[in-house]
Structure 1
């Protein structure tokens, strides 16, 4: 895949189109209720600084939680927003977050901060910044999961860390474009530091034993719990279905 191919694929995703459309709406709101230049700049700056911490917290304590799949009405949400992504990290249909979960989160994190700084205009500026920051995150996330080899050493390093999170040990390297909070909170790692591969890297702790007690994600997954590398899983799944 070339960089051009990546850009073309990226801008075809409905989620990205949605983020950009709402950014335009936010700009229109700012034009109608403008904040001062200082308020606008401060609103945007706070969001840019705050975003990596919010993502880290959500990724570590929500997406990698062991409580969402225990609640029947949250099980399908957890399955869609992260379990499916870890079951098969190269499954493009679940590479981007679902808009009904991402948009409320972005708005709740950004708009109140902007409103406190610059009223409606500040909220619009903060929301637009959050949406565009999400687009940047998603583009880097695409690079990390698609068959594209980045030329930038910085982005290549980001991809290396993220691939370790998906294929070696999921309990670390929670960042996407920044690993500052991983370093600060002790979850940053190099693969040689963790020689043993995590047995739950593809199922996030939702094992067959756990599914016996909390079956909702398993039922939504066709009666299958992910085990092993996704490329080697097909034949095993077929056998399990036949046995069922």
Structure 2
């Protein structure tokens, strides 16, 4: 039963879901009932309706969708590497809470589902900024709707595979196993690499891809992203929001035995 693997079940917030204690069936239930995913699906359907009403033609619609598919890995890489892993956000009081929510909490405990998914208040504007201009340039309003809908669907796919990468589960397919191995290294060995989720092509291009723990030394900041006790003393706002000093190991994390 799902209740045996969760602390205080709460489908509204998802705060009870610990991926380190769940199997694939339980993940599917949690994923398909998670409010953020449901919101993405609703917005994707709305985008489809707008596309149908403002249809620019099959060519522009497909080109807009294809352009988003092509751009998304690069956009995710840039955001992940230079914003989510950047140190400038926690050094300003007015952005410290944002940085804590969008990525610090996830690295502090990678198994918690409620901090694995981004907040829609942050993710939806980001998706719109990436996709809408591309689609509009290709097919006006209809193209923008096609691009936005594609971005929302890709985000749902990314988030599901992201869950798989933190789930207490060994995928059967070899390519998913490799994907999971690379992401586990990002969280448990060296955070300065393997920034991709479903693809590591951009990591290869920018020289941040590595295949195993022997490729580089273990990072001292893999769990705190550089926000250690010294930095917390200088910039205390994230620590004040957390209510505790930054950890150099996730609380209660279980080893990823199935990842290798």
Query: TM over 0.5: same fold?
Result: yes
Matched-pair contact (CA < 8 Å) for 2:77–2:195: yes
Q: Separation in 2 of the partners of 1:122 and 1:83? A: 35
The answer to whether structure 1 residue 78 and structure 2 residue 99 are counterparts is: yes
Residue 229 (structure 1) shift: 4.6
SS in 2 for 1:68: coil
Residues 88-109 of structure 1: CA distance to partner in whole angstroms, max 9, x if unpaired?
Answer: 1112221101000000000010
1:33 correspondence with 2:57: no
Q: Which position in structure 2 is the counterpart of 1:157?
A: 178
Q: Deviations over 1:104-127 (max 9, x none)?
A: 000010011000000000000000
Write the mapping of 1:1-244 to structure 2, written as runs, cut at 5 A. 1-190=22-211, 191-194=213-216, 196-231=217-252
Structure with the higher helix share, 1 or 2: 1
Q: What is the DSSP-based 3-state SS (H/G/I as helix, E as strand, rest coil) of the residue aligned with 2:171?
A: coil
Equivalent residue pairs, number: 231
The whole-number CA distance in structure 1 between the counterparts of 2:36 and 2:57 is 30
Distance in structure 2 (CA, Å) of the matches to 1:204 and 1:38: 44
Q: CA offsets, 1:197-232, max 9 Å, x none? A: 111000000011111111000101103211235338
Structure 2 spans left out of the alignment, 5+ residues: 1-21, 254-260
User: What TM-score, normalized to structure 2?
Assistant: 0.86
User: Structure 1: which 4+ aligned runs deviate by more than 6 Å?
Assistant: none
Task: Quote the Cα distance in structure 2 between the aligned partners of 1:216 and 1:183.
Answer: 35
Q: Structure 1 length normalisation: TM-score?
A: 0.92
Structure 2 CA distance for aligned equivalents of residues 176 and 225 of structure 1: 25
Which residue in 2 is equivalent to 1:242? none
Q: Structure 1 CA distance, aligned partners of 2:137 and 2:243?
A: 47
Q: What are the ranges of 5 or more consecutive residues in structure 1 without an aligned counterpart?
A: 233-244
Secondary structure of 1:155's counterpart equals helix
Q: Any idea what SS the aligned residue of 2:203 has?
A: helix
Q: Distance in 2 between matches of 1:229 and 1:115?
A: 43
